[in-house]
Amino acid sequence: MKLELRGITKRFGALVANDHIDLTVNPGEILGLLGENGAGKSTLMNVLYGLYQADEGEILLDNEVQHFSGPGDAMHAGIGMVHQHFMLIPVFTVAENVMLGHEQTGFAGRLDVAAARAQVRKISEAFGFDLDPDAIVGDLPVGVQQRVEIIKALSRDAKVLVFDEPTAVLTPQETDELMTIMRQLKQGGTSIVFITHKLREVRAVADRISVIRLGKVVGEAEPTATNTELASLMVGRAVELTVQKGPAKTRGRAFAVENLSVVDARDQVVVDRVSFDVRAGEILAIAGVQGNGQTELTEAIMGLQERVSGSITLDGQSLRHLSVQKVLDAGVGFIPEDRTEDGVVSEFTIAENLMLDRSYSKPFVKAGSLQRNYLAAFAEEKIAEFDIRAQSIDTHAGRLSGGNQQKVVLARELSRDLRLFVAAQPTRGLDVGSIEFVHERIIATRDAGIPVIVVSTELDEVVALADRIAVMYGGRIVGIVPGDTPRDVLGLMMAGEAPEQGAAA
């Protein structure tokens, strides 16, 4: 089926998320839709899928104009979607998830579960999946859940299949398997839109590439185009993203983690006997695919995890069994990975956010009373120092852009006397300018002689910042390698393979 988008425009208030976008996907073709975060890719696909209504423009399938008032219409017309955040109901079985929305029923609306099971088996076999139709989806590994999403779309006879950032949660192997599946689908005549911001992947599998930036299609490219060409299209200027960084001047071992394990609420061991140390004045990057225990590791360091074993020491002082407050008091600065959820209180002003983790003692609090004048002066100073663009210190944090919110968090954490700095996904979802700013600050912190831990799922960020790299997989550290380790080695490590030369760094 041929899909065509003509002049799609979607606005959110003053924000133009999609600006007259034109796209065509031919039957049996994989179109790579490449763009930075926030470029408007997901919005476009949500328009295509009927989740959003376009303000202007039209969608054509096999040259017929479509009107989707909801996902039901889009599905009916033959469009299927594999969502970035899986649209699966965790407590339902695979068969129930697949049949939901187009259930076959018997007498008096009774569900025909057998038919759904048969359908799941049929499609699974066609693609060589090994999938139990009666398994509870919430118990399945992520890669398998994604296959359930694919089966869900195929069971509705999708002729156009949209994959929205499908590899974000996959290991390299799982990514390869997914690509094989995509090629298989293409052979069968399915048209595919593959949304991603990862150049390698799109070049490996796409027949054609469209690049989208600031809500507009800025260019088309063949998969043979070089990374540099694609990259400059995607970010709009030839960017020099390697941060200027001198060699690390390290001093002694400052922070050490030994045999650290974390068990989560589902009784899963999510961090498994992890050991590493960080010297004063160096950046240790913790790399790995999302969900391999990095989040829980940083949370364990911060005292945010309950079931922890092993030891955590900072300058000889144990951080185990300390409350979050005590950990912060010990001089640990922390950038949480989910900024809007854990970093700022959106209904609080910038000033209030700047004292969020210092509400227990001087200088912001005296005798249980807030020192409002002190806070105001402090906030004015930090707004200037960290280039936070806002009308005033009383602007609510929720009104700021992601970059400015992150600067608020950064300002808050870096204005304390630090003995360790932990930054989890510090630039996730930020614009290029803010990324540079954050990176500069992180390096400046290192150069001030503070041990720094940067957790990132982005290999590029890891390579740009790290003096040493620890790669996590399945809750364990696969190896700790020097910062200049080749990416293909790192890639293998992220898939769980120990480096050949051993963990010597």
Partner 1 sequence: MTDSQISRSGPSVVENHLAEPGQGPTLPVEPEESGRWSAALREIVAGNIVLSVLSVVLALVAGAVLIAATNDDVQESAGYFFARPGDMVMAILSSVGGAYSALFQGAVYNFRRPDFFDAIRPLTDTLTYATPLIAGGLGVALAFRVGLFNIGGRGQMLVAAAAAGWIAFSWDLPFGVHMLVALIAGVTAGAIWGGVVGLLKARTGAHEVIVTIMLNYVAFYLISYLLRTPVLGTPGSNNPKSPASKETAVFFELLGSKYNLHFGFIIVIAATVFVWWLLNRSSMGFRFRAVGENPAAARVAGINVNRVYVAAMLFSGGLLGLAGVNQVLGTTTSGFGAGVDAGIGFDAITVALLGRSRPWGVFVAGILFGAFKAGGFSMQAAEGVPIDIVVVVQSLIVLFIAAPPLVRAIFRIPAPLERTARPRKKAVAQ
Partner 2 sequence: MTDTAQRTPAAPHKDINTGPVQRSWKAPIALGVFALLAVILFMGFGRAGESTLTLSARADSIQLVPLVLPTLATCYIIAAVLVAIAVAATLMVRRGTRVPLWLTTVFSILLLLGFLVWASAGANLPIPGLLAGSLGLAVPLIFGALGGVISERVGVVNIAIEGQLLAGAFSSALVASVTGSPIIGLVAAMVSGVLVSFVLAAFAIKYVVDQVIVGVVLNVLVSGLTGFLFSQLLSPNSDALNSPPRFNEIAIPLLSEIPIIGHVFFRQTLIVYLMYLAVACVYVGLFHTKWGLRLRAVGEHPQAADTVGINVGSTRFWNVSLAGAIAGLGGAFFTLGSVGAFGKDMTAGAGFIALAAVIFGRWDPIRATLAALLFGFASNLQGVLNIIGSPVPSEFMLMLPYLVTIFAVAGLVGKSRPPAASGKPYIKS
Candidates 122-130, 268-276, 408-416, 482-490; binding stretch for partner 2 (CB under 8 A): 268-276
Contact 231, 217 (CB under 8 A): no
Neighbours of 244 (CB within 10 A): 9
Q: Does 20 bind partner 2 (CB under 8 A)?
A: no
The CA distance from 439 to 392, in Å, is 25
| Closest distance of CB 103 from partner 1, Å | 28
| Closest distance of CB 179 from partner 2, Å | 19
Q: Which does 454 bind (CB under 5 to 8 A by kind): partner 2, partner 1, none?
A: none
Beta bridge partners of 421: 333, 452
| Closest distance of CB 428 from partner 1, Å | 4
- Nearest Cα neighbor of 412 from 331, 345, 334, 465 is 334
Contact 305, 296 (CB under 8 A): yes
Instruction: Dihedral sign for Cα 72, 78, 79, 82, please.
Output: positive
Total chain residues near partner 1 (CB under 8 A):
96
Q: In the set 28, 71, 236, 429, which binds partner 2 (CB under 8 A)? A: 71
Q: Which does 333 bind (CB under 5 to 8 A by kind): partner 1, partner 2, none?
A: none
Q: Does 302 bind partner 1 (CB under 8 A)?
A: yes
Q: Lay out the site mask for partner 1 across 214-243 (x = CB under 8 A, - = otherwise).
A: xx-----------xx-xx--xx--xxxxx-
User: Per the structure block, which two tokens stand in for 475?
Assistant: 């809750």
Asked if the peptide bond before residue 426 counts as cis, ω within 30 degrees of 0, the response is no
- Nearest Cα neighbor of 54 from 38, 74, 35 is 74
Looking at residues 466 to 495 of the shown chain, list those that interact with partner 2 (rule: CB under 8 A): 474-475
Q: In the set 268, 359, 392, 501, which binds partner 2 (CB under 8 A)? A: 268
| Closest distance of CB 479 from partner 2, Å | 18
Across 261-290, b (16+ Cβ under 10 Å) vs e yields bbbbeeeebbbbebebbbbbbbbbbbbbbe
**176 Cβ contact partners less than 8 Å away, ≥ 6 residues apart:** none
DSSP 3-state of 220: strand
**468 Cβ contact partners less than 8 Å away, ≥ 6 residues apart:** 282, 283, 284, 285, 480, 481, 482, 483, 505
Our CB check for partner 2 shows the closer of 103 and 329 to be 103
Looking at residues 356 to 395 of the shown chain, list those that interact with partner 1 (rule: CB under 8 A): 356-357, 359-360, 364-365, 368-370, 372, 389-391, 395
Q: Does 430 bind partner 1 (CB under 8 A)?
A: yes
| Closest distance of CB 204 from partner 2, Å | 23
Pairing of strands 420-424, 332-335: parallel
| Closest distance of CB 296 from partner 2, Å | 9
| Closest distance of CB 373 from partner 2, Å | 36
| Closest distance of CB 126 from partner 1, Å | 29
Q: Which does 427 bind (CB under 5 to 8 A by kind): partner 2, partner 1, none?
A: partner 1
The CA distance from 494 to 489, in Å, is 9
Looking at residues 92 to 151 of the shown chain, list those that interact with partner 1 (rule: CB under 8 A): none
Q: Does 461 bind partner 1 (CB under 8 A)?
A: yes
Q: Which does 346 bind (CB under 5 to 8 A by kind): partner 2, partner 1, none?
A: partner 1
Contact 469, 285 (CB under 8 A): yes
Judge residue 472's burial from the number of C-beta atoms within 10 Å of its C-beta, 0-12 exposed, 13-18 middle, 19 or more buried.
buried
| Closest distance of CB 260 from partner 2, Å | 14
User: Per the structure block, which two tokens stand in for 348?
Assistant: 């609080």
Candidates 72-80, 182-190, 324-332, 378-386; binding stretch for partner 1 (CB under 8 A): 324-332
- Which single residue is written with the structure tokens 């700790």? 480
Q: Does 36 bind partner 1 (CB under 8 A)?
A: yes
Q: Does 38 bind partner 2 (CB under 8 A)?
A: no
Q: Does 15 bind partner 1 (CB under 8 A)?
A: yes
Give me the residues that bind partner 2 (CB under 8 A), please.
12, 49, 51-52, 70-73, 75-76, 81, 83, 85-92, 96, 99-103, 105, 108-111, 136-143, 145, 152, 169, 171, 263-270, 272, 290-292, 474-475
